[in-house]
Amino acid sequence: MASVNEPKTQTAAYGEASIRVLKGLEPVKQRPGMYTRTDNPLHIVQEVIDNAADEALAGFAKKIAVTLHADGSVSVEDDGRGIPFGLHPEEGAPVIELVFTRLHAGGKFDKGKGGAYAFSGGLHGVGVSVTNALATRLEVTSRRGGEVARIVFASGDVAEPLVVRPAEAGEKRSGTIVRVWPDARYFESSVLPLAELTHLLRSKAVLMPGVTVSLTNEKTRDTQTWLYKGGLRDYLAQTLPAEPVVPLFEGEGWADAQSDSFAEGEGAAWCLAFTEEGPTVRESYVNLIPTPAGGTHEAGLREGVFQAVKGFIELHGLLPKGVKLLPEDVFARASYVLSAKVLDPQFQGQIKERLNSRDALRLVAGFVRPALELWLHAHVEHGKRLAELAIRAAQTRQRASQKVEKKKGSGVAVLPGKLTDCESRDLARNELFLVEGDSAGGSAKMGRDKEFQAILPLRGKVLNTWEVERDRLFANNEVHDIAVAIGVDPHGPDDTVDLSSLRYGKICILSDADVDGAHIQVLLLTLFFRHFPRLIEAGHVFVARPPLYRVDVPARGKKPAAKFYALDEGELAAVLDKAAKEGVPREKCSISRFKGLGEMNAEQLWETTLNPDTRRLMPVTLGSLDAARTTALMTQLMGKGEAAARRELMELHGDAVDVDV
């Protein structure tokens, strides 16, 4: 958007030759932040470690050795199968070269029975090629089939072509060694955070009992080796900062060949501890990849634990009158290590910090809940101690919300009649959805969680408030109802605003995934940016992303028929590709396009747009432009006297727009 304000003299040079197509690894070098973390080179080294771990996860490697060399390079060695180095049948180039120089080349896309990896974290296929692009030098040695191959790259390009020789006597039978020299130009600091690397390698050893993981530092001549046989329990017990109030609860569950819903081998292993004080330890992994931002597998653990503890409390009649138990009450003092295996994990972003796979919630919860229920009923005293901890947390939370309620005073405006409010008064948890149309509002009311989600249906398009005086805003019914519902008066960017009367921690704009819906989104964003800027600054405004397509995939083998949702054309293509890999051709998939939210029933709306564990919710922030430049741009877009400027803008950028007619 910044280019809108550039001088007109530059527009003359904008033609066919101006469009640049990035080839090979150029996109990574141009925008490294899209593919990896750029604070330090740990993540590009982790990509190599993850590949070695995938070999161990597949059962072909028993040792992973990482060495920090004195010259600043890092090498990772495993005793797995070795990267294939023969010619690719279609590309006509050595496979080992393609793996390191092509963004979407790898052995982890094919998840069928003939695939090289059943479970791996390397879903995107851009891992080690990113490492190569952001390194001044990268050397690879692969041993397999009685031969040793070596190839060297510099800044992502082949520097020394592939050389293959027979293995000598005494050389290891098979395996891979990758040595990488990270390019300091791409990172804020070229120093590897040793504590983070140590933690990563130690956790790999924990999650793969029987596999030896080592770290050698040439400068200090230190070597650390990890080999765990006790698994998650030993690790969590050693890491906990305080004594647990009940014994550690350890368990695992894996789908077998008879499972209707999940692939054979999918499931999770976990270890839970509950403490009364001190910080909590929470670590989760998917196919050995750390997920520090959590995701749907953690949501599944939380759901399973909550339902089991809640059921135990209800069975024994332990809940005092007037106390309502919430998942965060049960989970407030929980520490855990969770290791999930998912056949085809969908991550948020290339650095894989958060798992987005919707089925992972059902997968993990389905194994955790019955296992914990059995454990609680077999250890009733421990169950009662755990219940006491959760009930105390619920009482503390309710007392805190009541204190806030008293400060509000009696002069509260009458809430709009069409607002369907929520029961909770917990600001941090409450959500208000501004929904386009009464029909969608009706589905949202039925599909929502009435405990913390409120619905305000909007009739027709909201007024363009960019040039409306603040004291005239309430003349418009829709704007009046929004202001009264959220509990904050309209204000300017420099006004002193008391946000203590705010009634919802999240204000979510929910409109159709079409042009009209986008228009309503723009009008509401205009209202908030112009007249409620402090809500945007404080991170209270969000835009919900409902899907545009639903895909019904028929039963395939033992897998039952399933429905998938796609936000746009790109996700639709991904769903169809996945179905095709599972043996369902495109023509057998039923694709329906939602004309609007009103077409969705309550269950669909909850699953795709309202459920905090599976929805897509985008926070509204200023972005690359500061407040003044954003204001200037908004004036150009929304001002009544700016028709000429808008026409110029459309002439300049009209070819970049996909028109949805």
Express each pLDDT in 540-598 by its tens digit: 999 999 998 989 999 877 778 888 888 888 889 988 988 888 888 888 999 998 878 88
Q: Enumerate the β-bridge partners of residue 175.
A: 143
Amino acid at 533: P
570 is in an annotated binding site: no
| Structure confidence at residue 257 (pLDDT) | 87
Higher pLDDT, 282 or 437: 282
**Quick one: which of 267, 201, 240, 169 has its CA closest to 63?**
201
Confidence band of 290 (pLDDT split at 50, 70, 90): confident
Higher pLDDT, 268 or 579: 268
Mean pLDDT (the chain) is 86
For the segment 270-283, the average pLDDT, to the nearest whole number, is 94
Is residue 502 scored above 90 in pLDDT? yes
| Structure confidence at residue 328 (pLDDT) | 93
127 is in an annotated binding site: yes
Query: Of the listed 516, 571, 582, 599, which one is catalytic?
Result: 516
Q: Can you tell me whether residue 499 is helix, strand or coil?
A: helix
| Structure confidence at residue 5 (pLDDT) | 45
Q: Enumerate the β-bridge partners of residue 148.
A: 143, 165
CB contact at 8 A, 372 and 303: no
Asked which of 74-78, 402-406, 566-570 is least confident by mean pLDDT, the reply is 402-406
421 is in an annotated binding site: no
Is residue 41 scored above 90 in pLDDT? yes
| Structure confidence at residue 412 (pLDDT) | 52
DSSP result, 426-464? -TTT-EEEEEESHHHHHHHHHHS-TTTEEEEEE-SPPP-
Domains of the chain and any CATH numbers = 26-226 (3.30.565.10), 231-403 (3.30.230.10)
126 is in an annotated binding site: yes
124 is in an annotated binding site: yes
Positive or negative torsion for Cα 559, 563, 567, 571: positive
Query: Of the listed 436, 478, 481, 607, which one is catalytic?
Result: 436
pLDDT tens, 129-181? 899 999 999 999 999 989 999 999 999 999 999 999 998 887 778 999 999 99
Give the DSSP H/E element, type plus range, for residue 533. Answer: helix 533-537
479 is in an annotated binding site: no
Q: Which residues of 224-241 are buried (b: 16+ CB within 10 A; e: fewer)?
A: eebebeebbbebbeebbe
User: Is 139 labeled as catalytic in the residue annotation?
Assistant: no
pLDDT tens, 318-349? 999 889 999 999 999 999 999 999 988 888 76
- Cα separation of the two ends of the chain: 24
**Which residues, 6 or more positions from 160, have their beta carbon under 8 angstroms from its beta carbon?**
150, 151, 152
For the segment 65-72, the average pLDDT, to the nearest whole number, is 96
125 is in an annotated binding site: yes
| Structure confidence at residue 114 (pLDDT) | 40
352 is in an annotated binding site: yes
| Structure confidence at residue 77 (pLDDT) | 96
Q: Can you tell me whether residue 143 is helix, strand or coil?
A: strand
pLDDT tens, 351-400? 678 898 889 999 999 999 999 999 999 999 999 999 999 999 999 888 77
Is residue 414 scored above 80 in pLDDT? no
Q: 152 exposed, middle or buried (CB, 10 Å; 0-12, 13-18, 19+)? A: middle
User: Is 421 labeled as catalytic in the residue annotation?
Assistant: no
Half-sphere exposure (Cβ direction) of 461: Cα atoms closer than 13 Å: 13
User: Is 516 labeled as catalytic in the residue annotation?
Assistant: yes
CB contact at 8 A, 345 and 426: no
User: Is 436 labeled as catalytic in the residue annotation?
Assistant: yes
CB contact at 8 A, 431 and 543: no
Query: Of the listed 97, 303, 478, 512, which one is catalytic?
Result: 512
Asked which of 24-28, 209-213, 534-538, 609-613 is least confident by mean pLDDT, the reply is 24-28
Report angle CA 500, 503, 505 to the nearest 5 degrees: 90
50 is in an annotated binding site: no
Confidence band of 229 (pLDDT split at 50, 70, 90): confident
CB contact at 8 A, 479 and 637: no
